[in-house]
Amino acid sequence: MPEVKCICLKCGAEFFRYPSNIANGEGKYCSRKCLYSDRSRFPSPKRNGENIPCKECEKLFYISPSRQKMNRGKYCSKRCMLESFKKMTGNLNGHYKGETHTFKSKNGNRENLFVRDKNGIFKPEYRVIAERVLGRPLTSNEKVHHIDVDSNNNKNTNLLICDNSYHSWLHQRYAKRFAELHLTEAR
């Protein structure tokens, strides 16, 4: 079958296509470049929202009505949102409840007091006290041991800073001594 002469809708150039291709909807554009550059094929969506200023940088940005209903769209970008959140510390944050928090441990039967350190990071109170006494941050290998084994007694006279292996040895020693004192008497 002979090719049929066509004229590009975008640039007006002449080109040839087979009749079967024209029947399938081809033959309107001479190239993909013309096809994708013809914006008349893609009508712009109905934009019935509004442009509002970003809370962080004051730049205007478009927000759709559906996002307005959900009380979204206060920031023009994720970067502006994160910058704004960084400023919301302490009393400026709606979830702020003071400088100390009490959290339950993973098993749920012991509570530890967490305090903000000088960098604003929550740490267990006993670690913050130990760091203040030492005058430097504790390394990841250093543990804080409660001498009287009462995790709520955070006086600096009750805290012992040691490495992981010594801390494990202390707890094994306490367990062994406890078994000797209490479990042998029960027999």
User: Is 111 contained in some domain?
Assistant: no
**Number of structural domains the chain divides into:** 3
pLDDT in tens, 18-63: 998 888 888 888 988 888 887 666 666 677 888 899 988 999 998 8
Q: Are residues 65 and 34 in the same domain?
A: no
Partnered with residue 4 across adjacent β-strands are 17
Domain containing 138 equals 117-183
Per-residue pLDDT for 93 more than 90?
A: no
Q: Please, which contacts does 57-60 make with residues 24 or more away whose CB atoms are closer than 8 Å?
A: none
pLDDT digits 0-9 by tens, 156-187: 888 999 999 999 998 888 888 878 887 765 44
Mean pLDDT calculated for residue range 55-79: 88
Buried b (16+ CB within 10 A) or exposed e, 30-61: beeebeeeeeeeeeeeeeeeeeeebebeeeee
Q: How many residues are listed for the chain in this entry? A: 187
Residues 60 and 37 in one domain: no
- 153 occurs within a structural domain: yes
Give the three-state DSSP class for 23. Answer: helix
Same domain membership, residue 9 and residue 57: no
Domain annotation covers residue 102: no
> Is 55 found in the same domain as 24?
no
12 located within any domain = yes
138 and 179 within one domain: yes
Q: Are 144 and 161 in contact (CB under 8 A)?
A: yes
Task: Please report whether residue 105 resides in a domain.
Answer: no
CA atoms within 13 A on the CB side of 149: 7
To 5 degrees, how large is the angle CA 18–CA 24–CA 27?
A: 50
> Do the Cβ atoms of 112 and 124 come closer than 8 Å?
yes
Note whether 171 and 146 are within 8 A (CB): no
**174 in the same domain as 136:** yes
**What is the pLDDT at residue 106?**
59
Output the pTM of the full model.
Answer: 0.43
